[in-house]
Amino acid sequence: MTLSRDCYAMLTPPGRGGVAVFALAGPGAAAFVARRFRARRAPSVGDLTVATVTDHAGHAVDQAVVAAPAGGGGVEVCLHGSPAVARAFAALLEREGFTAATEEETLALVGLAGFDAHRARALRLALAARTRAALALLLREAFPAAASSPEDAGRDSATARASASLGRWLACPPAIAVIGPPNAGKSTLANALFGRECSIVSPTPGATIDPVECWISLAGLPARLADTAGLGDDPRTAAEEEAMRLAEEVAARADLRLVVIAGAGGAPLAARFTRLAARAPVVIVLNKRDLPGFSPRAPAALGAAGAVALPVSAARGEGVEEVRHALLAALMGVSAAARLLAGGLEAIPGPLAFPDESPSARR
């Protein structure tokens, strides 16, 4: 499409990928391609051209495929997906006088002019979706089957609350910190929730030093889970003290703490751990239920959290699904979680209620 100023938009999601696609528009788009792209022939409307992108010194930035879509006024450039290549091309564009397109201009560039703010937000969030279910939900919001608004009169209060909770989650996926004393089985449980071996598991205390963060799926919704170092008394080294400090920092920032303790034996709980573990919101796990001497009762020091303790054997994968359900309920509310688990994401009808984008809107 034709725009009155020179602007660009990156159409592929941020981060590393196979390709990085840019859309250029404005009165200077064609001249920019002529100056900075070396090709055997100039791009023609409706055709693809392979070209070398060059900087001001004539050095190659990348090999690209250039398209001039039918309709005129714009150019699409497909580069390799390295973030460094994308940054270099964006810097070249800005040096040539192009500026980043506004959200409205970006939608117009891809033929979606006229989107309202809610649909535009959903489409932007869809570009960064971490699970297929989240992507499907956000595309449902961006391209609804029928026009509607978040204030639909036919909604009951439970549906409205579920919609608001789901909208908050998709707009800002929650952060969960796994905390506990050394050798409680935190990393084993974290790996079970990750669905792969992200954290080192060792019978020797102190295997986890830096927090290990990966994405997990809770009933199809993405959440960031961080496995942290064990919190004990009297660290033996400066490195252990720093590892515990990092664990406390991650736990303090998290939306939810997943407290893991060994339900069979173990040393007394450290004060630095109980201070964090007793503060809601938490989900408490009593691990190692497969071992002799297991007790299903949480220590009295954790009673202030008011949470039910879940007996689990992370090593055997027993009780892990119950932990997922408990995390979901703690983050989005019992009623909304029950609805989602019973009927899937489609059980919460759109449109969703996204929060505003100010820092204070975070849960």
The reply to whether 233 and 322 lie within a common domain is: yes
361 located within any domain: no
Residue 85 in any domain: the answer is yes
**Residue 153: per-residue pLDDT:** 43
- Show the domain range for 320: 175-343
* C-alpha–C-alpha distance, residues 231 and 219, integer Å: 30
The confidence score (pLDDT) of residue 124 equals 83
CATH of the domain at 208: 3.40.50.300
Which pLDDT score is estimated for 363? 47
Domain membership of residue 159 (yes or no) is no
- Read off the pLDDT band of 62 (50, 70, 90): very high
Whether 82 has a pLDDT exceeding 80, the answer reads yes
Q: What is the pLDDT of residue 70?
A: 57
Per residue in 47-58, pLDDT tens? 788 999 999 998
Statement to judge: residues 211 and 325 lie in one domain: yes
Does position 230 have pLDDT exceeding 70, yes or no? yes
Mean local confidence (pLDDT), 10-36 = 89
Co-location of 183 and 105 in the same domain: no
- Tell how far CA 148 is from the center of its chain: 27
Min mean pLDDT across 143-152, 159-168, 278-287 is at 143-152
Do residues 195 and 334 both lie within one domain? Answer: yes
By the 8 A CB rule, do 54 and 60 touch? yes
Least confident span in 184-188, 233-237, 330-334: 233-237
Q: Across residues 290-316, what is the average pLDDT?
A: 78
* Mean pLDDT of all residues belonging to the chain: 84
What domain count does the chain have? 2
Distance, in Å, from the CA atom of 89 to the CA atom of 86, rounded to the nearest integer, reads 5
Q: In whole angstroms, what is the distance from residue 118 CA to residue 110 CA? A: 17
Q: Is 148 exposed, middle or buried (0-12, 13-18, 19+ CB in 10 A)?
A: middle
- First CA to last CA distance, the chain: 39
> Are 219 and 327 within one domain?
yes
CATH number (domain holding residue 79): 3.30.1360.120
Provide the percentage of residues in the chain whose pLDDT is more than 70. 87
State pLDDT tens for residues 88-144. 999 999 999 999 998 778 887 777 767 787 888 898 889 889 999 999 999 999 888
pLDDT tens-digit readout, 7-20: 999 988 877 889 99
Q: Is the pLDDT of residue 304 over 60?
A: no
Residues 280-307, mean pLDDT to the nearest whole number? 78
Residue 160 within a domain: no
Same domain, 195 and 280: yes
- Average pLDDT on 268-292 reads 83
* End residue of a domain, out of 63, 88, 109: 109
